[in-house]
Structure 1
Amino acid sequence: MHDSDALFGVLRQSADPDAAAAVEHLVRHGRDEELARLNAVSFAEARGLGEEATVAALLHASRLGLFEMSWNILCPSCGGVLDANASLRSVRREAYHCAFCAVDSEPVLDDTVEVSFTVSPRVRRIAVHDPDGLGFWDYYRQIFFGSGIVFPEARVFDELARAAIVETVELQAGERMILALQLPAEPVIVFDPVTHAAHFLTVEGEPTRERQELSLVFDSIRAGIGRTTLRPGPLRLSLDNRTGARVLPGVFIAGEALNGLIGRRRPFLTAKRLLSNQTFRDVYRTDTLDVDQRLKVLSLTFLFTDLKGSTALYERVGDLVAYDLVRAHFQILHEIVASEAGAVVKTIGDAVMATFPTPHRALSAALRMREAMRGLNARGSAEDLILKIGLHEGPCLAVNLNERQDYFGQTVNIAARVQQLATADGIFATEAVIRHGDAARLLAAQRVEASPQMCSLRGIGDRVPVFELT
């Protein structure tokens, strides 16, 4: 730990002081399980910290080597981790399979790709760094399930586990075991979280006293699923581990007790949110997507800005003064975007393209930008900077363009076209933004009127409703 003192010193200089102190305290004094797949959102809430400051501190800590960041593909049904990746570059576009739920799902950056943080073994070695030493449930909680699962407190957990589990087994490489079980008249799953192999037992019909037999072999990684129909009654279950590692098969009753164990959820840091985080874009500028990757985002809000008459501004006040004004405008916009949990994707001339995880964040940023530009002009006793803003929300693809993480799709095109509709000092937004619940409440609280009009957008076939905010 002494070797990391200097790194913690750098962290305190680069991150929010309170967030940096909380991260340092966790590394030095936290329990092992708290340092495995850390959920940044719940960590911030538990410590009374701002979420953005906490995420930024963990990003800086990861860049310094204090933590290892993981991009985990989650099953949308059970919340299990189907694949863990050190970089977003490793995430595949095709569907992932959850044997525990018998579900195929395509990775979606909104809610099935989480970003978690585990302390580096070079800083502090914890149990999860040696997974073969973890017990049955510790393996599930710290490795198989994502950070969005809320497990019951210990007494309730033990009660539910006894009701949900028929038997648990630990098989070393090459080991074989035979279990004598009594099958209930309920669906049963035999599942191993190491190989992700599952066998579903449909238990139906009249109970029997005759011994039934079933043999399962664990012989490959991600071995898939099998199905067998049996009757309630005695079962002789043979388990054979032919892999080169330990496996942890469990015999689960697929009922209310199991749902009580793993059915509760909490917010977690999604890939979508992290890609729209300014600190991430600044710190991990080139470590995002491969050129050929196209990852789906179901909902992202885009904000485009542009300065009206910027060419005339240079002619009117001269290059030096105009440059200082435009640079000040960029700085203000960057600060507002970051403070609203957004990120500047790129600047194009005097224009800015930014993304936000939710419409109300983008809308709040747009209103603040307009006021900030009015204040900047007032200090200069002139209307030199006239900002036009456009907003739209919808699905898109996260891509790599010109060695930079970017976005592609019709949503991006519409947002850019909506900005072009804006006149002097104007904010135009689509119905998708205005009708969002939190956005509507924000407009009402600030007494901003949204005036609708049907508009034709260049390159977009149909006329669309667009709202001017006044």
Structure 2
Amino acid sequence: MSDTNALLAALRQSADPAVADKIDELVAHGTDRELNRVNPVAFATRYGFDEDRTVSTFLHAGRMGLFDISWNVLCPGCGGVMEAGSTLKTVNRDHYHCALCATGYEPTLDEMVEVTFTVSPRVRRIAAHDPDRLPLLEYYRQVYFSSGVALPEDLEARFSKSMLEMVELAPGERAILSMQLPEGFIIIFDAVTHSTQFLEVKGEPTQERQLLTMVISQGQSGNQALTLRPGPLRLTVENHTDRRVLPNVCVADDNLRGILSTRVRFLTAKQLLSNQTFRDIYRTDTLDIDQRLKITSLTFLFTDLRGSTALYERVGDLAAFDLVRAHFKVLYDIVAAEAGAVVKTIGDAVMATFPTPERAVSAALRMREAMRTLNDERGHEELLLKIGLHEGPCLAVNLDDRQDYFGQTVNIASRVQNLADTRAILTTEAVLTNDRVAGILSGSGIEPVPRPATMLRGIDHEVKIFALP
């Protein structure tokens, strides 16, 4: 435990000490369930902490070995975890299928990949470290469902109203279950292998016993729905895997849907990739060189210093270098404070990303004001910043050994910045359609001024651009 105490002490030094104290308390006194797949967003809400500081503290805790990070591909329908991996590199398929919902999805980093933190077994052993020993419904709660599904505390009592049967089968074991089928849609589902059988029960009730065999094997996908009649069923379930399986038979009714209906925000992969702490401490350990992961909405901010060459000529290399470095530090601090991340610098230019448009707009306004303050302190307008914004879909990729972004949205944002001058921030209409952006601008007394429709170089359609004076 002394090693753990040393790590926690180091965490207080490198991250938010208040959040670190609460993590210390969680590790020492939290239940096993509370220490499995911790949702940092919910953690911040629960204790009234700043969300970005909480995420950063958990990232530091993960890097130190206090917690193991899991990247979980989620079903948008039921909230189940279709696949889990220790790095984003494991999200390497073009298509994921939820057997429970019988629906396929192309993965996106916006709402389909969550990031959770489980206490390391070196710090404290919990039941989830050996999931095959978890009680049946705890396996569903702690392993199958994501941290974004707020399952009720009385899950067993609630679920029993929809459940007809549930059984635990060891490897190679077989069970014979007898039940009375009601009219409706019945699901036989195993949370370990995701094996599924759908039953459509309809027609005239029968007194004759119906027979059905379900074989659970590794990698099995969902089956076509079978039609049965209301009445007695003799179900044989066989486990052909080398693991314990947990098949249950339940009615897909309003009660079941109600159990899964309460959702909470969770830490998405998109949010994490645009987190400066994550980029700083994990660097290239994010994507494989061939990975192309879709993000449906990300906001890009580009900046550049106008006349930087003349600045070097006017004040000399050393003084100009110090000025430019001071400008970079201010921009980095503002980006991080607005939950964004600097992707790269190109000469005197900066490319940054933000999970939402209002964060980017707030950062842009703060950058402009910060440059004015720096210039006022020197008594000269030597740092003249051009800023451009755009929001839209993109791909997260690995370029030149760093996590980067690719796509038309990136190109448009860069082109918009190229059109900007130092008097006004330029942004596209896509950014301004966000309600929270409108609130920020209204609160700042800024009225967007439309510019003539513009054809940007390399873009085959007109882009509506607005100036923020």
TM-score range, shorter chain: over 0.9
Aligned twin of 1:4: 4
Output one character per residue of 1:231-259: Cα deviation in whole Å (capped at 9) or x when no partner.
01100000111211110000011111111
Q: Is the 8 A contact 1:451 1:468 kept in 2?
A: yes
Aligned twin of 2:464: 465
Aligned residue runs from structure 1 range 58-457, under 5 A:
58-154=58-154, 157-453=155-451, 454-457=453-456
Output one character per residue of 1:151-174: Cα deviation in whole Å (capped at 9) or x when no partner.
1232xx344212111111001111
Instruction: State which drifts further: 74-83 or 87-96.
Output: 87-96
Secondary structure at 1:32 match in 2: coil
Stretches of structure 1 that go unaligned for 5 or more consecutive residues are none
Secondary structure at 1:8 match in 2: helix
In the aligned structure 1, how far is the partner of 2:392 from the partner of 2:319?
Answer: 38
| Cα shift at 1:226 | 4.2
In the aligned structure 2, how far is the partner of 1:292 from the partner of 1:278?
Answer: 23
Judging changes above 3 Å, is the alpha-carbon distance between structure 1 residues 335 and 275 closer, same or farther for their aligned structure 2 residues?
same
| Cα shift at 1:222 | 4.0
| Cα shift at 1:461 | 2.1
TM-score, normalization: structure 2? 0.98
In the aligned structure 1, how far is the partner of 2:153 from the partner of 2:217?
Answer: 35
Output one character per residue of 1:147-194: Cα deviation in whole Å (capped at 9) or x when no partner.
00011232xx34421211111100111111101110010100000001
1:384 alignment partner AA: E
Q: Is the 8 A contact 1:150 1:262 kept in 2?
A: yes
| Cα shift at 1:223 | 4.1
In the aligned structure 2, how far is the partner of 1:171 from the partner of 1:73?
Answer: 26
In the aligned structure 2, how far is the partner of 1:243 from the partner of 1:319?
Answer: 69
1:268 alignment partner AA: F
In the aligned structure 2, how far is the partner of 1:212 from the partner of 1:3?
Answer: 60
Output one character per residue of 1:357-399: Cα deviation in whole Å (capped at 9) or x when no partner.
0000000000000000000000000000000000000000000
Q: Is the 8 A contact 1:307 1:350 kept in 2?
A: yes
Secondary structure at 1:34 match in 2: coil
In the aligned structure 2, how far is the partner of 1:235 from the partner of 1:217?
Answer: 16
In the aligned structure 2, how far is the partner of 1:435 from the partner of 1:172?
Answer: 55
In the aligned structure 2, how far is the partner of 1:132 from the partner of 1:54?
Answer: 31
Judging changes above 3 Å, is the alpha-carbon distance between structure 1 residues 418 and 63 closer, same or farther for their aligned structure 2 residues?
same
2:459 alignment partner AA: I
In the aligned structure 2, how far is the partner of 1:293 from the partner of 1:110?
Answer: 16
| Cα shift at 1:230 | 0.3
In the aligned structure 2, how far is the partner of 1:344 from the partner of 1:411?
Answer: 16
| Cα shift at 1:19 | 1.1
Q: Is the 8 A contact 1:93 1:293 kept in 2?
A: no
1:95 alignment partner AA: H
| Cα shift at 1:6 | 1.1
| Cα shift at 1:221 | 3.3
Instruction: State which drifts further: 168-177 or 457-466.
Output: 457-466
1:450 alignment partner AA: P
Identity percentage of aligned residues: 60
Q: Is the 8 A contact 1:455 1:464 kept in 2?
A: yes
What is the total number of aligned residue pairs between the two structures?
Answer: 468
In the aligned structure 2, how far is the partner of 1:225 from the partner of 1:13?
Answer: 53
Q: Is the 8 A contact 2:175 2:237 kept in 1?
A: yes
| Cα shift at 1:92 | 1.4
Q: Is the 8 A contact 1:71 1:84 kept in 2?
A: yes
Q: Is the 8 A contact 1:182 1:235 kept in 2?
A: yes
In the aligned structure 2, how far is the partner of 1:15 from the partner of 1:424?
Answer: 36
Q: Is the 8 A contact 2:201 2:228 kept in 1?
A: yes
| Cα shift at 1:311 | 0.3
Q: Is the 8 A contact 2:72 2:83 kept in 1?
A: yes
| Cα shift at 1:131 | 1.0
Output one character per residue of 1:110-142: Cα deviation in whole Å (capped at 9) or x when no partner.
000000000001100001011121111100110
In the aligned structure 1, how far is the partner of 2:443 from the partner of 2:145?
Answer: 40
Q: Is the 8 A contact 1:160 1:260 kept in 2?
A: no
| Cα shift at 1:455 | 1.9
1:310 alignment partner AA: S
In the aligned structure 2, how far is the partner of 1:283 from the partner of 1:168?
Answer: 44
Superposed CA RMSD: 1.0
Output one character per residue of 1:88-114: Cα deviation in whole Å (capped at 9) or x when no partner.
111113111111110111110000000
In the aligned structure 2, how far is the partner of 1:226 from the partner of 1:3?
Answer: 53
1:7 alignment partner AA: L
Output one character per residue of 1:410-440: Cα deviation in whole Å (capped at 9) or x when no partner.
0000000000111124200000101111101
Output one character per residue of 1:266-323: Cα deviation in whole Å (capped at 9) or x when no partner.
1000000000000000000011101100000000000000000000000011111100
Q: Is the 8 A contact 2:195 2:217 kept in 1?
A: no
Secondary structure at 1:35 match in 2: coil
1:468 alignment partner AA: A
Q: Is the 8 A contact 2:137 2:156 kept in 1?
A: no
| Cα shift at 1:204 | 0.8
